[in-house]
């Protein structure tokens, strides 16, 4: 029996489906490989990001990158901090990849917006970004894969609004619910992903590459992702734009970074640790998630954690009292005052008298 081929070349599949299955809304990004479109699936009505190659891919140098991304998604499956993959197909020798649509655009776009508005990420914001991408990298590395192109343009943002009920109950208690927004950072664009054990390295953006990759030393590939992430978060904190070459480019690879003014000493030192010239001294994603600067509670003793818990409970109790007092006051003020001429119960009413003598 003839074994079916495991992987089909792009030119072997030529079934049209893009226009049949998707309504194209807008172009949300473009690059060397192609463009990404926000689309609505005509069947389920959901939004997706569909990547389409600009030029015919079959037989070109971009074919390996296109298929590499598909295979990487297939291996990785689903993770909260990796952009979700749905399907891929070829149409007229163009590659299409259907991914999760992230409604918050990319970190690169957010950094541009912040720069235009003279805003910066706070340390708490940077910590959230760092934790989310570390979780994604931890998962990718656990599958013996390396991303090799971590940068702001390949980190996508999902925003989801929800309402927090003040007292945790779903019924109407007279209080307005607070609107909150969950922000989730996700790793995308897996075109440079390679295997840890049999690497085929295609260099990514030189601004985020460590020196050892450029010297073709692939013995510590996971640490290249850590290097790139350190510079990515540093850039988000106002440390960019990063150089493509020159004196500063070399200084960064010697472990020299200017401190971010909004960050503590420990957090600034963490950046330097992540870009250490010696890749063996850069922590893994797992170790960084346990670093005190990333997760302050990790270094706290049981007694300290209990004190923090008691303090937080006390704050919550005080806040509840203040809110309840405010509610009662507003409720009383909303009740119309009785007219002074209103008759009191029992006023000028003949009272019965008992004739029984004791």
What is the distance of C-alpha 250 from the center of its chain? 30
Element (H, E) at 292: none
Do the annotations mark residue 52 as ligand-binding?
yes
The number of beta carbons lying within 10 Å of the beta carbon of residue 8 is 11
Is the Cα torsion angle 293, 295, 296, 302 positive or negative in sign? negative
Element (H, E) at 358: none
Is there a catalytic annotation at residue 92? no
Token duo for residue 60: 């070109």
User: What are phi and psi for residue 336, nearest 5 degrees?
Assistant: -60, 135
Catalytic residue among 149, 172, 173, 259: 149
Contacting residues for 51 by C-beta, under 8 A, at least 6 apart:
33, 34, 35, 36, 37, 95, 96, 97, 99
DSSP sequence for 207-222: GG--HHHHTT--TTHH
Binding-site residue numbers for ATP are 52
Binding-site residue numbers are 52
Catalytic positions, please?
149
């Amino acid at each position: 029996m003839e074994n079916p081929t495991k992987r089909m070349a792009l030119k072997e599949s030529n079934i049209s489906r893009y226009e049949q299955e998707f309504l194209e809304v807008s172009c949300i990004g473009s690059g060397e490989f192609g463009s990404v479109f926000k689309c609505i699936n005509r069947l389920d009505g959901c939004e997706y990001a569909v990547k389409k190659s600009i030029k015919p891919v079959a037989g070109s140098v971009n074919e390996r990158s296109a298929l590499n991304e598909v295979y990487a998604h297939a291996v990785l499956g689903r993770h909260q901090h990796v952009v979700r993959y749905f399907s891929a197909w070829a149409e007229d020798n163009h590659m299409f990849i259907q991914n999760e649509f992230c409604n918050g655009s990319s970190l690169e776009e957010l950094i541009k917006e912040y720069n235009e508005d003279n805003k910066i990420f706070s340390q708490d914001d940077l910590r959230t970004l760092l934790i989310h991408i570390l979780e994604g990298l931890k998962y990718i590395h656990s599958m013996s894969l390396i991303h090799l192109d971590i940068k702001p343009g390949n980190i996508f943002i999902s925003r989801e609004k929800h309402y927090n009920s003040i007292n945790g109950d779903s019924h109407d208690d007279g209080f307005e619910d607070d609107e909150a927004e969950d922000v989730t950072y996700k790793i995308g664009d897996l075109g440079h992903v390679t295997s840890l054990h049999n690497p085929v390295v295609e260099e990514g953006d030189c601004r985020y590459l460590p020196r050892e990759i450029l010297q073709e030393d692939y013995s510590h590939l996971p640490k290249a992702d850590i290097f790139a992430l350190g510079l990515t978060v540093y850039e988000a904190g106002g440390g960019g734009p990063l150089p493509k070459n020159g004196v500063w480019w070399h200084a960064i690879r010697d472990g020299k970074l200017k401190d971010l003014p909004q960050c503590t000493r420990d957090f600034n030192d963490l950046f330097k640790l992540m870009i250490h010239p010696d890749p063996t001294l850069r922590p893994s994603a797992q170790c960084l998630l346990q670093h005190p600067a990333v997760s302050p509670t990790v270094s706290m003793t049981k007694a300290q954690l209990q004190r923090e818990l008691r303090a937080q409970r006390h704050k919550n109790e005080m806040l509840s009292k203040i809110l309840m007092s405010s509610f009662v006051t507003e409720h009383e003020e909303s009740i119309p005052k009785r007219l002074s001429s209103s008759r009191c119960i029992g006023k000028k009413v003949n009272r019965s008298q008992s004739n029984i003598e004791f």
